Amino acid sequence: GIGVPKELQTAFERTARYGNPFGESPKKRDAWVKEAGVPIRILKEGDSADVLWHVGCFPSYNKGNLKDTIALARILNALEIDFGIMGSDEWCSGDLRCTSVGEEGLFDMLYQHNSQELYKRSFKEILVGDPHAYNAFYNEYPRLGSPFKVSHYTQFLAQRIDKLEKLIKKKVEAKVTYHDSCCIGRRNNEYEAPRIILETIPGIELVEMPRNKENALCCGGGGGAMWLDSYIWERTRVPLPIQRVQEAARTGADTLAVPCPLEIPRFEDAIKTAGLEGRLRVREISHIVAEALGLLEGI
C-alpha cells in the first residue's frame, strides 16, 4: 500500500498535539471573539447556558471563515439566545479527519477530551456550524456513551424562523442555488432547514441544481479529502468542487449558498480555477442571513 499521504498525516499529528489540524495554539481558538462586536460568553467549568456553541476548527482559525463565524454570533445575539462557547477548552470534534479515514485512536482522544469538557458545563443543547461536527455529536458521541442534543445552525434558525423573519431589515437581491452538504444531507437527512431560511429572505430567488438533496454532488472535502488536495489533483481529471461550481453556474445563479465552513475555501478556489469569478460567488448561509438582518457592519 501507499500508506497515509503526508498531508493527511500532518493534519493528524497537529490535531493530536494542538486539538486542531492547523497546528494553531488552543489559546488562539477564541481570538475572533474580540472582533465580533457582540458579547460572547466563554463558559468555564461550572458555568451554564441554554446553548453551548461548538464553534469548530475552520470557523475559529481559518481567516476566510471568520466573517461567517462573527455573522452567526451576531444572529444569535439578535435572537436573544443564551449561548456560550468553550474557547480554548474546545477541540476538534474529530469526525472529518478521524472516523472518516480510520484514525479511531485519535478520534477517541478528541471524544474523551470534548466529552469531559462538555460535562463540566450545564446546557440544554449543542449548536454547531460544521456538518461534520454535527455528525460526530449526533451519531458518533452517543455511540461512545455521550448523548447530547445537537443542532446544526440551519436547523436551529429554521426552528425560530418566525422570530428571525421579524428581524429582517433588508432585501438580499440574489439568485441563489443551495449545495446540500453530505453530512447534514444524505448522511442525516436534513434538506429542508437551509431552504426554509433562504426562502424566507426577501429578494432571494432560489433555484435548484439538477443534482440536489440525496443526489447532490459532494464538495470533494469529505473523508479527509480537505487534506489531500495535491494527492487528489494528481489522480483526478476534473475534481469534484470544480464540477459542482460549474453545475451551480449553469442554473444561472449568481450565489452558491452553503451550510459548511469547509465548502467556502473549496468552492472559492474552484470558482477561480473554473474561470467563474464575477459570475458566481460562494456564501455561507449565516452570512446571507446576517446581511438580511443588517448585521454585517465591519465584517
Q: Which CATH number belongs to the domain containing residue 284 in this structure? A: 3.40.50
Residues 91 and 212 in one domain: no
End of a domain among 131, 158, 185?
Answer: 158
In a shared domain, residues 201 and 128: no
What pLDDT, on the 0 to 100 scale, is given for residue 176? 99
For residue 14, is it within any domain? yes
Q: What single-letter DSSP state applies at residue 218?
A: P
Any domain includes 265: yes
Q: Is residue 220 part of a domain?
A: yes
Q: How far apart are CA 112 and CA 119, in angstroms?
A: 11
Give the mean model confidence (pLDDT) for residues 265-291: 97
User: Within 10 Å of residue 44's Cβ, how many Cβ atoms?
Assistant: 12
Segment 21-29 shows an average pLDDT of 97
Task: For residues 203 and 95, state if they share a domain.
Answer: no
Q: Which of 158, 180, 215 is the last residue of a domain?
A: 158
**How sure is the predictor about 190, in pLDDT bands with cuts at 50, 70 and 90?**
very high
Do residue 171 and residue 145 come from a single domain?
Answer: no
- Band of pLDDT at residue 6, cut at 50, 70 and 90: confident
pLDDT tens track for 102-113: 678 899 999 999
Contact predicate 250/280, CB 8 Å: no
pLDDT at 138: 96
Nearest to 80 by CA among 201, 167, 154: 167
Regarding whether 201 and 151 lie in a shared domain, the answer is: no
User: Of 158, 191, 206, which closes a domain?
Assistant: 158
Residue 19: inside a domain, yes or no? yes
State residue 287's pLDDT score.
99
Q: Are residues 128 and 174 in the same domain?
A: no
Q: What is the pLDDT of residues 113-152, one digit of tens each?
A: 999 999 999 999 999 999 999 999 999 999 999 999 999 9
Question: 91 in the Ramachandran plot: left (φ > 0), alpha (ψ -120 to 50) or beta?
Answer: beta
Same domain, 102 and 174: no
Q: Are 50 and 82 in contact (CB under 8 A)?
A: yes
d(CA 299, CA 3): 42
Q: Are residues 141 and 191 in the same domain?
A: no
Do residues 232 and 225 touch, judged by C-beta distance below 8 A? yes
pLDDT average, residue stretch 250-267: 97
The mean predicted confidence, pLDDT, of the chain is: 93
Percent of the chain with pLDDT over 90: 84
278 lies in some domain: yes
pLDDT at 239: 81
Question: Is residue 15 located within the same domain as residue 153?
Answer: yes
Regarding pTM above 0.95, the answer is no
- Asked whether residue 298 is assigned to any structural domain, the reply reads no
192 falls in which pLDDT band (50, 70, 90)?
very high
Asked whether the predicted pLDDT for residue 90 surpasses 80, the reply is yes
Domain count, the chain: 2
Tell me the CA distances in angstroms from 299 to 39, 117, 268, one per residue in order. 16, 31, 18
Radius of gyration for the chain, computed over Cα atoms and rounded to the nearest angstrom: 18
The grid cell for 243 is: 464540477
Q: Do 180 and 38 have their domain in common?
A: no
Tell me which amino acid residue 137 is: F
For residue 133, which amino acid is it?
A
Is 299 domain-assigned? no
Do residue 217 and residue 262 come from a single domain? yes
Burial (Cβ within 10 Å: 0-12, 13-18, ≥19) of residue 143 = exposed
Q: Containing domain of residue 274, as a range?
A: 167-292
- Would you say residue 295 has pLDDT above 90? yes
